[in-house]
Amino acid sequence: MDIGKFYFIKDQYFIDFPDKDLQTNKENINGKEHNRPCFYVIQDNLNASIYWMVPISSGTAKYQRFYDAKAARYGDCDTIHFGYVLGERKAFLIQNMCPIIDEYMNNIYIDAATGAHVTLASNAASEIERKAKKVLMLLRKGIKLIFPDIITIEKQLLAKLNPSTGS
């Protein structure tokens, strides 16, 4: 898996890890896979087999209101970040990120116009990674800033990776 690129998640992930707060795959439209939402990939600091997937949304007006409210209340907002993907402004929903392993990866997001993998400018990628790792660190200290129960999902993924240890 290429870190810093965009991927889609297999439906099996949402079957194996049912959580009402995960941003699940959208339905097929006219029998064709719709490939939404798209997730930005970040490598885990502690386990190289775990990746963190940050969903992106085109609903920037909606998430701008949430961002502004949090920034007004707390002075900053690390749970939502805005950046450009293929020239369009998107909301990176760190508050909805989830852990994953290779077997649940579906396909990489390809720019239909060029056939190239979709990427971000390095400064945007660095900022999203910084915020995601900060929010994850705070979660591990008991401050819940992420909607899905990612700690439970992460434990289940680690057990799947290391069945003999049970962790």
8 A C-beta contact, residue 120 and residue 83: yes
Domains and CATH numbers, the chain: 6-161 (3.10.129.130)
Neighbours of 142 (CB within 10 A): 6
Higher pLDDT, 30 or 80: 80
* DSSP state at residue 94: G
> 43, 50, 21: which is closest to 133 by C-alpha?
43
For the segment 92-119, what is each residue's pLDDT rounded down to a tens digit? 999 999 999 999 999 999 999 999 999 9
What pLDDT score was predicted for residue 37? 82
pTM score of the predicted model: 0.89
For residue range 33-57, what is the model confidence (pLDDT) as tens digits?
555 688 999 999 889 999 999 999 9
Instruction: Judge whether 97 and 79 are in contact, CB under 8 Å.
Output: no
Would the pLDDT of 28 be above 60? no
Q: How far apart are CA 41 and CA 48, in angstroms?
A: 12
